[in-house]
Structure 1
Amino acid sequence: MTTVQNLLKQELGENLRQSPEQVCRVFHGRGRFFPSFENLNIEWYPPVLFVQCYEGELSNNELSVIKEIFEEHEFIQSVLLQSRPWPDVENEVLFTRTSNKPELPLEFNAALDKDLLCKVSLGENRNTGVFPDMRSGWHWLAEHAENKRVLNLFSYTSVFSLFALKGGAKKVVNIDMCGSATKTAQLNHQINNLLDERVSIWKKNILKSNSQIAKQSKFDIIILDPPPFHKGSFRGWPDYQKLLRRCTKYLKDGGVIL
């Protein structure tokens, strides 16, 4: 095995051993910390290892390492490859411990931590229902949310909301314009017994909802995670600046924008 292969295998193995039962990103090649692996992210949705290849195909070296990891870790039930050169998406089950390859998409509730679950869908769309690279942000919010009012903008499936409520938030307002995402957000709160009076889930265009948000009592914490660009709704940096200015008006004195 080459030095490059050993690097990939070591990183994958260590991260899987640290979080064998929880959703996490176990290899972040797109962060450009690992030379020659810039096309690769690998995420762990127990019991599925989800390999995302952004350009071209997996190299023989990458495929060899992933096969070894699968064979060495019996808790991995399947390895799913998503090839995603923009704008195309192709999905293939590379390895599985079942007699037949499972049908796609793979949909199930995955553990975000020892207390929280989230619905995931693997093998159809680019987005899975979770962004595991936000894990440190989830934990920060859980540690700082007690008795706080939280505004979660571009909330997607509202994973941040789950952690805010786990941390004792007294109110969380989640806003996203995608109907399927807000439906999954409601389900995520239901499966964790968190869909109660503390939670609001709005299906709205955030940039067109200024007056409605401004009428709310001011917030202690605002989560702001927009897409780089979304045709017809978000224009990148110009709209981001506009939102930052608005968020300072939604925020209590001494509040935090994450």
Structure 2
Amino acid sequence: MPHPLQQEITQNLSKHPAQVSRVFHGRGKFFPSLDELNVEWYPPVLFVQCYEDELADEARAALQAVFEEHDFIESVILQARPWPDVENEVLFSRSSAEQQLPLEFDTVLAEGIQCQVNIGKNRNTGVFPDMRSGWAWLQEHAADKRVLNLFSYTSIFSLFALHGGAKKVVNVDMCGSATKTAQYNHELNAMLDERVSIWKKNILKSNSQIAKQSKFDIIVLDPPPFQKGSFRGWPDYQKLLRRCSNYLREGGVILAALNNQQVTFSEFDRDIRETIENVKSISQLELADEIKELEPEKGLKLALIELHSKCE
């Protein structure tokens, strides 16, 4: 009987062999004794994130079995990341030469969409594959829409919005290296044109600039849970929710993300309603099938917020 880690990765690789995805979501605590592992697929590299000091021997053997079974995997990279340390190593590689880290290359997010990833340097690769259902929703609903992408990072949401026919996307993030990668990602997809704005700005200090823009049909709000010196968590989230309600045109939607396992979706729903007075409805966007959660209410939360029009 294959190890559960091998079984789950193999099953998920078969679904999207040519596209970025999270192929093992141990942090959802769905798999006993494997909750310190996430595994992501960035064709052709399998990226293993271990939140402990060392990878268990059984897990290492399971990863080797996956590598040997799938010849389209060129290498398996391990990142041990017990906070605050990060150590990277090449576990397995088909190259005869020693593989140097970090790896920076272009990969496929979805049909017709590529992006740059960086593996073995920072904790983040430039992509968050657990957001895959959010990308798909935006692509499906973006036609002829104006989209505001807050905490845009490398602007993956923007690529999906434009691929779905958005007429304008404004991306805002304060990280210079991320906005530089965002520009590259748009160039890579032949999307860096008049439809796109990429602002390197502190979102909390940019209310007047954003408010001067024409109102938006869709706003993506995906802040970090907390970032010392720049984002205080829920108090700043509330401030942005109130501002977003002013940036939004009537009939528009806010896609609000929260990655905090201490808060359930029901509590998130309640807190949003207490923050914004004119909420019409809040629905939960389901995560992709590969994101298995023992307690789905506590995993990554994607809320679709609709507001009452002023005349209602």
TM category, shorter:
over 0.9
Distance (Å, rounded) in 2 between the aligned partners of 1:246 and 1:35: 42
Distance (Å, rounded) in 1 between the aligned partners of 2:145 and 2:20: 26
Higher relative contact order (CA 8 A, sep 6+): 2
Q: Deviations over 1:72-104 (max 9, x none)?
A: 000000000000111111000000001122111
Distance (Å, rounded) in 1 between the aligned partners of 2:25 and 2:222: 19
Displacement after TM superposition at 1:200 (Å): 0.2
Partner of 1:144: 141
Displacement after TM superposition at 1:214 (Å): 0.6
Distance (Å, rounded) in 1 between the aligned partners of 2:195 and 2:123: 31
Aligned residues: 255
Distance (Å, rounded) in 1 between the aligned partners of 2:30 and 2:166: 35
Partner of 1:245: 242
Partner of 2:251: 254
Q: CA RMSD in A?
A: 0.8
Query: What amino acid does structure 2 have at the position aligned with 1:178?
Result: C
Distance (Å, rounded) in 2 between the aligned partners of 1:231 and 1:189: 29
Partner of 1:24: 21
Q: Secondary structure in 2 aligned to 1:15? A: helix
Partner of 2:229: 232
- The 5 A counterparts of 1:170-249 are 170-249=167-246
Distance (Å, rounded) in 2 between the aligned partners of 1:91 and 1:56: 11
Displacement after TM superposition at 1:19 (Å): 1.0
Query: What amino acid does structure 2 have at the position aligned with 1:49?
Result: L
Structure 1 length-normalised TM: 0.97
Distance (Å, rounded) in 1 between the aligned partners of 2:30 and 2:189: 35
Query: What amino acid does structure 2 have at the position aligned with 1:221?
Result: I
Displacement after TM superposition at 1:59 (Å): 0.7
Displacement after TM superposition at 1:57 (Å): 1.2
Partner of 1:102: 99
Structure 2 length-normalised TM: 0.81
Query: What amino acid does structure 2 have at the position aligned with 1:222?
Result: I
Partner of 2:127: 130
Matched, 1:11 2:8: yes
Displacement after TM superposition at 1:56 (Å): 2.6
Q: Deviations over 1:118-163 (max 9, x none)?
A: 0001001101011111111111000000000000000000000000
Displacement after TM superposition at 1:7 (Å): 1.9
Partner of 2:164: 167
Distance (Å, rounded) in 1 between the aligned partners of 2:139 and 2:24: 24
Give 1:55's match in structure 2, choosing from 52, 57, 61. Answer: 52
Distance (Å, rounded) in 2 between the aligned partners of 1:29 and 1:156: 24
Q: Deviations over 1:27-75 (max 9, x none)?
A: 0001111121110000000110000001231111101100000000000
Query: What amino acid does structure 2 have at the position aligned with 1:133?
Result: D
Matched, 1:84 2:81: yes
Q: Secondary structure in 1 aligned to 2:147? A: strand
Runs of at least 4 residues off by over 6 Å: none
Q: Secondary structure in 2 aligned to 1:147? A: coil
Distance (Å, rounded) in 1 between the aligned partners of 2:28 and 2:157: 22
Distance (Å, rounded) in 2 between the aligned partners of 1:234 and 1:36: 33
Displacement after TM superposition at 1:6 (Å): 2.6
